[in-house]
A and B are shown apart, each in its own frame.
Chain A
Amino acid sequence: MWQYVSGVISLGLIYVIATVGLAVFTGFTGLFSLGHAAFFAIGAYTAAILTYFYGFNFYVALALGGCAGGLVGFLIGYPTLKAKLRTDYFAIATLGFGEAIRVLLENLPITQGARGLPGIRGETNLPVLLVCTTLVIWMAWNLIHSRHGRACIAIREDFVAAEMMGVNIFIGRLRSLVFSAFCAGLAGGLFAHYFCFIQPSMFTSYMSTQMTAAVVAGGMGSISGPVIATLIFIGIPEALRVANIWRLVAYGLMLVLIMVFRPQGLMGYQELSLGLVKSWYRRLWKGGRA
């Protein structure tokens, strides 16, 4: 039983790492990425190839996988963000990018094509995941509460005004993108060494969608919201294994319902904190008079 629970938690934490990265990007710069699974896949393949073919140390491979994700994020972000694409154009560019990476993975000799890489060393365990998650959340938290984070929030709220105030939109967005791609790559490396098997068809646009859904449902502009949303997204379907097919139907419906009824998401712009819990508690008991 504990093995099952820890399995669910591990999977949840892997996605939390990737989603926190995406939350920093989408939630704080207002740009939409529909291709984050590609960064995830790049991290997974880099780390797996390093440990599988070259016998690298697991932790070194993880770090390099994250860096590979970040590097590709930089390479794709530099031209697209430099051109100051509209949100829609950027989303479509990342969508195409995600598909292109998957096609490449299916056809490169080193990735063994669609057959995938079996027999990767299973080195990801719960302690490693907990350390990585804490580290990533801590980094994201510091990034958002830094000068850079404030600049990003300004960009999201009104980028014309932000630019007038001297915020460099390009640098702000690029830095967020590289960070989120790094997180996705790290999560990919953990994923590969958790399941011990990867193949290109695991990293479809559904994975990108699921991450984006978690960020939106959790609240754009919050870190704790997406984290909670991811854990719910992973936990509930695992608990209700029967409804496997209907899970994605529910995701879609939920995205629309959230947009229609509660566009700020679960947490809105707030973070889960002691004060917030206290105020909920007061509201619950005093019937909204607090």
Chain B
Amino acid sequence: MFVQTLLTGLAIGGIYALMAVGYSLVFSILNFSNFAYGSIIMLGAYISYFAMMKLGLPLGAALALSILGAAALCYLNERLAYSPLRKRHASSLFFMISAMGTAIFLENLVYAIVGAHFYAFPEVFTKRNLSFHGVSIGVLDVFAITFSFAAIYALHYFLQKSRTGIAIRAASYDIQVCSLNGVNDKHLIGLVFCLAGGLAGISGTFLGMKYIVYPTMGWITNKAYIAAVIGGLGSLPGAVVGGILLGVTETFVSAYVSSVVRDVFSFSLLVILLMVMPTGLFGRFLEEKV
């Protein structure tokens, strides 16, 4: 029972972590909460669903298409909704409202065009579980965990080793100084949004396969926001730890206490943690600038 719950928690936590990383990545550069990220994830799920059902593509191709599509959407979102604000040096409040507007716009656009139908992914992985000493785990979950962590590790490697990655890390400290040192901040921000969009495509596809595809599936990204805040906004290791921590504790609460109080629990966890550590587990101490 214990190991079983732990594994289920890890599977959910992996997806939370993936979403939280994309969300935190944007935060680390631009210092605002990109609430539109949930809808990008939702659109990523729709892209891969339609790629598989209507175009008959295999999972790999659908995943690639979803990554590309979500990255393009995320980039467009930045160009249209955020970069005019950036030029005006608006405060982060305005970015947040703009992001919220984008989220409402995209979610309801899908409602209006595609409709509120629930779509289930075709069965790629057998519903069979892998059993080992009485502990079982779905094939899909294994694949999702592996792929999520591979994607996170690839991103980590990119940020640590490549020239562009170093520029991104520098920009997360201070974007002004970074652009003074010859980094094209416009391109850099565009790239960061593309990376975040790519992660959104992956997590959207897995979310859709694990649950179901519908316009408000972005609600689950609220959990990703919470996970990112627990880990400390802007910190990528924090986002991973926060995501896994949230996934595992939630699963334990629903297994041992009650699944009803699960969401109430994750919220209380957030508030209590913020009271003790206002910057999250790994957050840098960021005073808001006026």
List residues of chain A with CB under 8 Å of any chain B CB. 30, 32, 34, 76, 79-80, 82-89, 91-93, 95-97, 99-100, 103-104, 107, 157-161, 209, 212-213, 216, 245-246, 248-249, 251-256, 258-260, 263
Contact = CB atoms under 8 A, between A and B. Distances in A.
A263 B84 CA distance: 11
Interface string B234-272: 000000000000000000000000001101101110110
Contact of A259 (B98, B261, B274, B275): B98
A20 to B, nearest CB: 19
Contacts of A86: 233, 286, 288
Contacts of A256: 80-81, 98, 101-102, 105
B100 interface: yes
B106 interface: yes
B106 A259 contact: no
B112 A245 contact: yes
Given A76-B271, A79-B275, A249-B112, 12 more contacts: A83-B278, A93-B270, A99-B219, A100-B268, A245-B108, A248-B111, A252-B102, A252-B109, A253-B105, A254-B101, A259-B101, A260-B81
Interface of B: 27, 32-33, 80-81, 84-85, 88, 90, 92-98, 100-109, 111-112, 219, 222, 225-226, 229, 233, 260-261, 263-264, 266-268, 270-271, 274-275, 278, 286, 288, 290
A80 B270 CA distance: 10
Q: Taking chain B's interface residues, is the majority helix, strand, or loop, or is none over half, making it mixed? A: helix
Nearest to A261: B84
Interface pairs A-B: 5 shortest CB-CB: A255-B101, A252-B105, A252-B104, A96-B267, A248-B108
A248 B104 contact: yes
B33 A92 contact: yes
A84 to B, nearest CB: 7
Contacts of A92: 33, 222, 225-226, 229, 270
Contact of A88 (B81, B92, B107, B219): B92
A76 B278 CA distance: 15
Given A85-B274, A100-B263, A263 B94 contact: yes
B27 to A, nearest CB: 8
A264 to B, nearest CB: 10
Given A79-B271, A107-B260, A30 B100 contact: no
A241 B114 CA distance: 20
Contact of B274 (A34, A80, A245, A258): A80
Contacts of A80: 271, 274-275
Given A107-B260, A252-B108, A95 B222 contact: yes
A88 B95 CA distance: 11
A257 to B, nearest CB: 8
Nearest to B109: A249
A213 B286 CA distance: 27
Contacts of B229: 88-89, 92
A109 B225 CA distance: 30
30 contacts: A30-B93, A79-B271, A83-B275, A83-B278, A85-B274, A86-B288, A87-B96, A89-B229, A89-B274, A91-B96, A92-B225, A93-B267, A93-B270, A95-B222, A99-B267, A100-B268, A103-B263, A107-B260, A213-B101, A245-B112, A246-B112, A249-B109, A252-B101, A254-B101, A255-B100, A256-B80, A256-B98, A256-B101, A260-B98, A263-B88
A94 B72 CA distance: 31
A213 B96 CA distance: 12
Contacts of B108: 245-246, 248-249, 251-252
Given A92-B229, A252-B104, A260-B84, A82 B275 contact: yes
Given A87-B93, A88-B92, A255-B100, A158 B290 contact: yes
Contacts of A79: 271, 275
A209 B286 CA distance: 27
B279 to A, nearest CB: 8
A88 B96 contact: yes
Contact of B85 (A76, A160, A213, A260): A260
A270 to B, nearest CB: 19
Given A88-B32, A91-B33, A96-B222, A251 B104 contact: yes
B214 to A, nearest CB: 14
A83 B274 contact: yes
B107 to A, nearest CB: 8
A87 B97 contact: no
Contacts of A161: 290
A186 to B, nearest CB: 25
Contacts of B104: 209, 213, 248-249, 251-252, 255
A216 B270 contact: no
A89 B290 contact: no
User: Which one of B88, B105, B261, B263 has the greatest number of beta carbons of chain A within 10 Å?
Assistant: B105
B274 A87 contact: no
Nearest to B83: A260
